[in-house]
Every structure is written in structure tokens, then in C-alpha cells.
Amino acid sequence: MKNLISERVADFLKNYPPFNIMEEKLLEDLSQQVSIIYKEKGSLVFSLNEEAHPHFYVVHKGAIELNNPNIKSIMDYCDEGDIFGLRPLIAKENYKLEARAYEESILYAIPIAIFKPITESNQRVSNFLTESFASNTRNPYNRDPKLRKNRHICKFKYSGQFGH
């Protein structure tokens, strides 16, 4: 019996980097492990200095605000297709920002334990993440610098750091 929910997750993810450069079978397998999370407007996804969750997030619907509550500063907004909360998992550190639903949102929570081996075995996915982080752009493969920031890994806008 087919899992229609995981098929819908895969159909969504395949439109956004780095998922759009993954082999179809890998994406299907990954999609079966995704949790779907609903957040009401204003609800917390994670807080500043909180221990990293075992997954990172992709915005399916809605928008997430990344902010630093200590200085009352909004650092970024993540919307459909954007990835956030990935760096603390890879760097094994706590979150450097707070993530809060800017509007009613549906998130895909992708387990890092499933995703990390994909990055280690798929050079294209690994290159995308490395180039995104190094270039401080959301899509380093977009040739138009004005459009590079249109997606997909939410980063600090002002500090040059990335996706928390």
C-alpha cells in the first residue's frame, strides 16, 4: 500500500534545493521519515540557546521568523521551501536564534540522522549546502545575485552567519 502523505512530501520537496538534486529513490525514502508539524501564529519552533532538535525544518506553508530576543531584532523570515535549523545539528551546538511562526505554518521536520548520510554520500547535495553556507546565499546556483537570496537556507541577514 502506498503512503500518499510521503508522496506529497516528496512532490513538494523536489521543487527546492537541495532536494531537487537528490535521486528520486533517496528523496522518496527521506520523505517517509519526515514529520509534519503545525504551528499557530506566534508559537515557538525553538528558542535561543535551546539544544538542537534531532531534525531540521522546511517550511511547507506559512512563514517563520528568525529573531534574536536579546536584542529584539528580526534576522530573517523563512517561507515556502526554505530550510532552517540545520546548522546547529551539523555543528553540534545550540540554536543561536529563536524561531517563531510569523503566521500559521506547516513545517516538515527532517531527521538529521537520515539526512546527514545523504550529504555524505551525495556530492551534489553536500556541495549545495557547503556553497550556500560559504557564500551566505540561499541558492548559490542561481546566476543572478539579486535572486540568490530568494531561497532556500534561511540565514542571518546581518551577521554573515547562517540558518539557525
Q: What is the DSSP secondary-structure string of the chain?
A: ---HHHHHHHHHHTTSTTGGGS-HHHHHHHHTT-EEEEE-TT-EEE-TTPPPPSEEEEEEES-EEEEETTTTEEEEEE-TT-EES-HHHHHT---SSEEEESSSEEEEEEEHHHHHHHHHH-HHHHHHHHHHHHHT-S-TT-S-HHHHTTSSB-B-SSSS-B--
pTM summary value: 0.82
Residue 139 confidence class, pLDDT cut points 50, 70, 90: very low
Q: Does domain 4-148 have CATH number 3.30.479.10?
A: no
Render pLDDT for 31-82 as a digit per residue (tens, 0 to 9).
999 999 999 999 999 999 999 999 999 999 999 999 999 998 999 999 999 9
